[in-house]
């Protein structure tokens, strides 16, 4: 088999220089048997911290340590208690904080986790596939995983069906960088937006993301309606009170106005999980004896009545109020019955 060495090829750009400096810092600290001094690091030609302004070099070195920490690599200063950071400070990779301690994971933990990861990897709606595969590799390193008792063939599509925009959306979200994109709405109209993505969720087999498109309000976008993406640019912060769970929408959310509180009663045989599945953590559930009632804000009472009818089997949801909701329920049924006379 022919063997050839990897050869350097192209001219470095600014991103390459930053990546090269940070990776070389990691490389030097990784192979060094002793901690390196600040002076050794900022004076090393191969790192490129050298600057006429010493403070600027030190700041750049600090930012690079922070950057490596984002990738899970902790650089620790080795110094006596109470001493200040000086150019004679010494630095080393904090192996305890950086190295995964795979020995802590029991065989059965690894198998259970890999089962869960594999089940998620089969889904075409998840945007974090690459991150999951990296986690799987790490977990697999610690424990050999036994094959399942039953190997079941799959005709469910799996990875091949994944939307390519998901990768870009996830990358922009994980870097907290604004994503310029072209979005086609439900009516087929295309518009260009730049979205600060605050959260990502999957619902009924689709992936959605929530963010501010520069209008100052949170909007929900369906990932498969992104027709084009450009290079992410500009940073943002996620509001501290943001909770993606608030955006797992229901079909009766889409109408103007604030809506009214609708009340539904569930069949006493419905399991908690069935109820939580359809109510999506929204509104308020009240249990009294064997009965469960759900109060939720509904913008469209017709859509709320249709939602309840579509979940009759097996939840037997009954609308209890307001009167307009019951009228909407009766009206939908009457229309369907009339159609079949």
CA distance 13 to 19: 10
CB 151 to another protein: min, Å: 8
CB 247 to another protein: min, Å: 7
Among 78, 83, 161, 175, interactor with another protein by CB under 8 A: 175
Query: Which residues in 141-170 contact another protein (CB under 8 A)?
Result: 141-142, 146, 148-156, 167
Do the beta carbons of residue 203 and residue 253 sit within 8 Å? no
For residue 180, give the nearest of 256, 232, 251 by alpha carbon: 232
CA distance 305 to 222: 25
- The answer to the question of residue 92 lying near another protein (CB under 8 A) is no
CA angle 77, 83, 86 (to 5 degrees): 65
Query: Which residues in 181-210 contact another protein (CB under 8 A)?
Result: 197-206
Among 85, 122, 185, 286, interactor with another protein by CB under 8 A: 122
The residue (of 8 and 289) whose beta carbon lies closer to another protein is 8
CB 24 to another protein: min, Å: 5
- The answer to the question of residue 115 lying near another protein (CB under 8 A) is yes
Among 51, 56, 227, 271, interactor with another protein by CB under 8 A: 271
Whole-number Cα distances in Å, 257 to 254, 299, 300, 302, 306: 9, 7, 9, 14, 19
CA distance 22 to 9: 20
The residue (of 55 and 101) whose beta carbon lies closer to another protein is 101
For the packed helices 14-31 and 54-70, what is the interaxial angle rounded to 10 degrees? 80
258 contact partners, CB below 8 Å, separation of at least 6: 297, 299
- The answer to the question of residue 100 lying near another protein (CB under 8 A) is yes
The residue (of 35 and 142) whose beta carbon lies closer to another protein is 142
- The answer to the question of residue 81 lying near another protein (CB under 8 A) is no
Query: Which residues in 33-72 contact another protein (CB under 8 A)?
Result: 40, 44-46, 66-72
How many CB atoms lie under 10 A from the CB of residue 318? Answer: 15
Give strand pairing partners of 263.
Answer: 295, 321
Query: Which residues in 276-335 contact another protein (CB under 8 A)?
Result: 276-277, 280, 302, 306-307, 309-314, 318-319, 326, 329-335
The residue (of 14 and 84) whose beta carbon lies closer to another protein is 14
- The answer to the question of residue 78 lying near another protein (CB under 8 A) is no
Dihedral (Cα; 82, 85, 90, 95), 10-degree rounding: 70
Structure tokens at 214: 């520069």
Binding-site residue total for another protein (CB under 8 A)? 149
CB 204 to another protein: min, Å: 4
């Amino acid at each position: 088999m022919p063997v050839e060495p990897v050869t350097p090829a192209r001219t470095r750009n600014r991103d390459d220089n930053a990546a090269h400096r940070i990776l070389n810092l990691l490389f030097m600290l990784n192979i060094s048997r002793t901690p390196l001094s600040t002076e050794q690091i900022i004076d090393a030609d191969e790192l490129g911290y050298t600057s006429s302004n010493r403070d600027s070099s030190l700041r750049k070195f600090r930012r690079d340590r922070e950057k490596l920490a984002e990738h899970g690599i902790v650089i620790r200063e080795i110094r006596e208690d109470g001493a200040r950071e000086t150019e004679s400070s010494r630095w080393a990779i904090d192996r305890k904080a950086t190295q995964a301690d795979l020995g802590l994971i029991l065989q059965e933990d690894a198998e259970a986790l890999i089962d869960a990861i594999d089940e998620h990897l089969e889904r075409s709606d998840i945007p974090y596939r690459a991150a999951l595969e990296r986690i799987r590799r790490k977990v697999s390193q610690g424990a050999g995983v036994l094959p399942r008792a039953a190997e079941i063939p799959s005709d469910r599509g799996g990875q091949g069906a994944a939307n390519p925009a998901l990768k870009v959306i996830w990358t922009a979200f994980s870097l907290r960088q604004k994503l310029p994109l072209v979005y086609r709405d439900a009516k087929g109209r295309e518009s260009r937006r730049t979205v600060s993505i605050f959260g990502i969720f999957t619902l009924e087999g689709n992936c959605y993301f929530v963010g501010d498109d520069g209008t100052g309000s949170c909007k929900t976008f369906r990932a498969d309606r992104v027709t084009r993406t450009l290079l992410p640019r500009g940073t943002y912060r996620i509001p501290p009170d943001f909770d993606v769970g608030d955006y797992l929408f229901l079909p009766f959310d889409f109408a103007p106005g604030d809506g009214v509180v609708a009340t539904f009663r569930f069949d006493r045989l419905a399991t908690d999980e069935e109820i939580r599945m359809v109510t999506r953590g929204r509104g308020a559930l009240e249990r009294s004896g064997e009965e469960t009632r759900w109060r939720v804000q509904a913008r469209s009472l017709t859509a709320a009545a249709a939602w309840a009818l579509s979940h009759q089997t097996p939840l037997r949801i009954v609308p209890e109020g307001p009167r307009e909701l019951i009228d909407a329920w009766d009206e939908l049924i009457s229309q369907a019955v009339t159609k079949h006379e």
